[in-house]
Chains A and B, each alone.
Chain A
Amino acid sequence: MALYSETVMDHFRHPRNVGVIEDADGVGEVGNAKCGDIMKMYIKVKDGILTDVKFETFGCGSAIASSSMATEMIKGKPLSEVLTLTNKAVTEALGGLPAYKLHCSVLAEEAVQAAVLDYYKRNNIPYDEKDFPCALCAHEHDHGSEDEA
């Protein structure tokens, strides 16, 4: 199907890191069912390194592919590096997304930040709010904000 790149279809057909981490150190859930996509990320952290990540996604092909790609991009990385993940990087790694699907990659960025923030909060680790522009901003998951991308 020409709607998506081969990379998107590969990650959609064979999503990496799907599932749940029962004893996760941090969990982030973003989006809402009304908008048609929800992403939930579970992370394990050891010595400042994101050692494992799993995701669950309710959403379209690009939402599933974005989640899958994001998990691959952050697994094994120090949290400081994890927090530099942008939706643009996810989109590029996927070989591009149709303009009206860019919010799916935004959601992936938000989910990653939300999971790390949860980890920091659970462990009373001080954090800089600037590192969580998505997870901490007040706006509802904005479905149409393609200009954010």
Chain B
Amino acid sequence: MFVYADHAATTKMSDAALKAYTMTAEEVYGNPSSLHSAGQRAKEVLTACRERIASVLGADAREIYFTSGGSESDNQAILSAAYAGKKKGKCKLVSTAIEHHAVFHTLNKLKKEGFEVVLLPVGENGIVSVSDVEAALGDDVALVSVMLANNEIGTIQPVEAIGALCKARGILFHTDAVQAVGHIPVQVDAIGCDYLALSAHKFGGPKGVGALYVRRGAPLSSLIEGGAQERGKRAGTEDLPAIAAMTAALEASVSDMDAASALLKHLQDKLIAGLETIPHCALNGDRTRRLPGNVSFCFEGIEGESLLLLLDEKGICASSGSACTSGSLDPSHVLLAIGRVHDVAHGSLRLTLGTDNTEAQIDYTIAAVKEVVDYLRNMSPVWRDLREGRRSYIL
């Protein structure tokens, strides 16, 4: 059985997106910057896409900038706000310990340039405390950046409350909404954000395209120079087929959201309940404030990469926050931030479901994970030490 359970990594393009992609690539191949009719036709499609995406997010079309994806959007928002803040003597950036690397590494770059970066801790459930955010705010803060939903553990942050705090103090607020858009309701005014990053391939759109919402009046500088596209803030001929496909994918996922959410929640509950019967494991992240479809576990006594390889042998595509899967020395910073010690963080497994997953696939996955965890534990000296009392169980 083939089970694709890595939808947080990327999704298959939806029918609506593929249709829009093909249609646009075949028929609307003009350059939106060209004066002639083919170009103007492309410009019309581009304008319509911008309006439609703005409408889904509750934004104005002039506040939507097309980019190459979530990472670029995050980079541009954070760098723009930071450099604008610096000019006014605001050199402090407030964020959390569980942000995506697109945010985390951009903040690190700014730290090297002299900015003060405050990474707020999260609780065991992976949620940042609003009062911690409030305590970190001051006149010297250039930007607050808090992700809407976490890519590894699915935790949904209290962004509305954080947005309100920032708004009251006139501090710019960015949210990385890459995992949330298309899966849970996202309205820029309800969040109160000045910047919001989204990526098409997380909701059935193509890879390599995304958008950045920038509230009118918020500072925005360009990362790429060379043309007047995106009102001079992002040079380069627009990838119109991709933009059209992203727009179609977003509308489709938003119109199907209630049904998709109910199905995913059901499959998620079933998968969590099934995996929890494995001894000495723990669910990562909050039980209720979490993205539908996200299931993240740590299993004591085993390592995640070997777990992934064996699941792959059984046709199951999953992901892990173990060091060995990242090519770095440390396991996922998210798992460490929620208090999982290295020993158990290495044994993590992330399964992220989509609407194409079935009950039968969940049953198959539960059985496969149980079998593989058991197999790996049986050859693990750590597990033997735990069982024979030479080492204490953490989970």
Task: Mark A residues whose CB is within 8 Å of B.
Answer: 1, 9, 12-13, 15, 18-20, 29, 33-40, 56-61, 63-64, 100-101, 143-144
Contacts and interface: CB of A to CB of B under 8 A. Distances in A.
Nearest to B346: A36
Q: Interface extent on B, as a size class?
A: 20 to 34
Given A13-B313, A58-B301, A60-B305, A36 B380 contact: no
Nearest to B322: A36
Contact of A56 (B303, B309, B327, B381): B381
B331 A36 contact: yes
The 7 closest A-B pairs by CB, nearest first: A60-B324, A60-B305, A33-B343, A40-B381, A36-B346, A56-B381, A58-B380
Given A15-B379, A60-B322, A36 B384 contact: no
20 contacts: A1-B312, A12-B309, A15-B379, A33-B346, A34-B342, A35-B323, A36-B322, A38-B382, A39-B381, A40-B381, A56-B379, A57-B379, A58-B301, A58-B302, A58-B381, A58-B383, A60-B305, A60-B325, A61-B324, A101-B324
Given A38-B381, A58-B382, A33 B306 contact: no
Given A33-B346, A36-B303, A36-B331, A57 B309 contact: no
Nearest to A29: B381
B342 A60 contact: no
Nearest to B378: A18
A57 B381 contact: yes
Nearest to A101: B324
Nearest to A8: B309
Contacts of B322: 36, 60
Contact of A12 (B302, B306, B343, B381): B306
Contacts of B1: none
A103 to B, nearest CB: 10
B309 A35 contact: no
Given A9-B309, A36-B303, 13 more contacts: A13-B310, A29-B381, A33-B382, A34-B341, A35-B329, A36-B346, A37-B324, A57-B380, A58-B301, A59-B303, A60-B325, A61-B306, A100-B327
B327 to A, nearest CB: 5
A26 B384 CA distance: 18
B324 A59 contact: yes
B329 A18 contact: no
Given A60-B305, A61-B309, A36 B379 contact: no
A33 B329 contact: no
A40 B313 CA distance: 26
Contacts of B380: 38, 56-58
Contacts of B327: 100
A107 to B, nearest CB: 12
Contacts of B313: 13
Contacts of A57: 379-381
Interface centre among B302, B343, B383 (most CB of A within 10 A): B343
Interface string B101-136: 000000000000000000000000000000000000
A144 B306 CA distance: 19
A141 to B, nearest CB: 12
Contact of B384 (A15, A56, A61): A56
Nearest to B320: A60
A37 B304 CA distance: 11
- Among B306, B313, B323, find the residue whose CB has the most chain A CB atoms closer than 10 A: B306
B214 to A, nearest CB: 38
A1 B311 CA distance: 12
B136 to A, nearest CB: 30
